[in-house]
Chains A and B, each alone.
Chain A
Amino acid sequence: RKEVEQDPGPFNVPEGATVAFNCTYSNSASQSFFWYRQDCRKEPKLLMSVYSSGNEDGRFTAQLNRASQYISLLIRDSKLSDSATYLCVVNRFNDYKLSFGAGTTVTVRA
């Protein structure tokens, strides 16, 4: 079983729509959680860290469910510029190694 699993998508949504997707992780000792965004042929960029209480950054909301071992990302009022692959990333505390999901592709159409 992979450490981090994501629905690869693609999620094709119109501008202004809300899109949400999950990521599951297998290691219950995981303590740090992140969403990265990766544009085509570019490096991953940190979108947001995911805190246990859930957190919001503008149109982006991340939630963590430790009991079920999943993380979610919700994008409201989608923009064309939100089209990208979103990587779910998990780490154990003070462990140098991040575990990456293969990514969920989101395409926002006009």
Chain B
Amino acid sequence: SQTIHQWPATLVQPVGSPLSLECTVEGTSNPNLYWYRQAAGRGLQLLFYSVGIGQISSEVPQNLSASRPQDRQFILSSKKLLLSDSGFYLCAWSGTSGLSTDTQYFGPGTRLTVL
């Protein structure tokens, strides 16, 4: 069965510091991968998605970047965090063909607080 991991689970960082969040998927090959952010009391906002190694699409202009160095690894980064980067960061995966691309499965998330 497929599993998705994220770490760290929680993170408190000062403004201006760098960020690196990691997501890995097991039990599937060549998944589509996604990064979302959920601000307190709000819906999920898609930040990036990737359909393959090195292929990243950005959904919104922002202070963040993403990379996919390996098939089942997805990394979210920032060079300098802003207060507005605080939130709950969720990684998700889906299949790559037909209807399987529709259903996304989420990792446990990273709760980031920028002070």
**Shortest CB–CB separation between residue B43 and chain A, in angstroms?**
4
Considering the chains assembled together, what is the distance between the CA atoms of A52 and B109 in angstroms?
Answer: 31
A71 at the interface (CB under 8 A from B): no
Q: List the B side residues contacting A32 at CB < 8 Å.
A: 99, 102-103
Number of inter-chain CB pairs below 8 Å: 50
Interface residues of A in 62-110 (CB under 8 A from B): 87, 91, 93-98, 100-103
B49 at the interface (CB under 8 A from A): yes
**Shortest CB–CB separation between residue A79 and chain B, in angstroms?**
23
Q: List the B side residues contacting A101 at CB < 8 Å.
A: 43
Q: List the A side residues contacting B101 at CB < 8 Å.
A: 94-96
Interface residues of A in 18-50 (CB under 8 A from B): 32, 34, 41-46, 49
Which residue from chain A places its CB closest to the CB of B106 in the assembled complex? A43
On A, residues with C-beta under 8 Å from B are 4, 32, 34, 41-46, 49, 87, 91, 93-98, 100-103
Interface residues of B in 57-104 (CB under 8 A from A): 59, 88, 90, 94, 98-99, 101-104
Q: List the A side residues contacting B7 at CB < 8 Å.
A: none
Q: List the A side residues contacting B51 at CB < 8 Å.
A: 96
Tell me the count of chain B residues lying within 8 A, CB to CB, of chain A: 25
Considering the chains assembled together, what is the distance between the CA atoms of A42 and B10 in angstroms?
Answer: 12
**Shortest CB–CB separation between residue A66 and chain B, in angstroms?**
16
Q: List the A side residues contacting B90 at CB < 8 Å.
A: 43-44
Q: List the A side residues contacting B44 at CB < 8 Å.
A: 44, 87, 100
**Shortest CB–CB separation between residue A45 and chain B, in angstroms?**
7
Within the complex, which residue of B34, B103, B108 is in contact with A42, where a contact is CB–CB below 8 Å?
Answer: B108
Pairs across A and B, CB under 8 Å, 25 listed: A32-B102, A32-B103, A34-B102, A43-B90, A43-B106, A43-B107, A44-B44, A44-B90, A44-B106, A45-B106, A46-B103, A46-B105, A49-B103, A93-B99, A93-B102, A94-B101, A96-B32, A96-B49, A96-B94, A97-B59, A98-B102, A98-B104, A100-B43, A101-B43, A103-B43
Considering the chains assembled together, what is the distance between the CA atoms of A52 and B44 in angstroms?
Answer: 25
A43 touching B109 in the complex, CB below 8 Å, given contacts A87-B43, A96-B101: yes
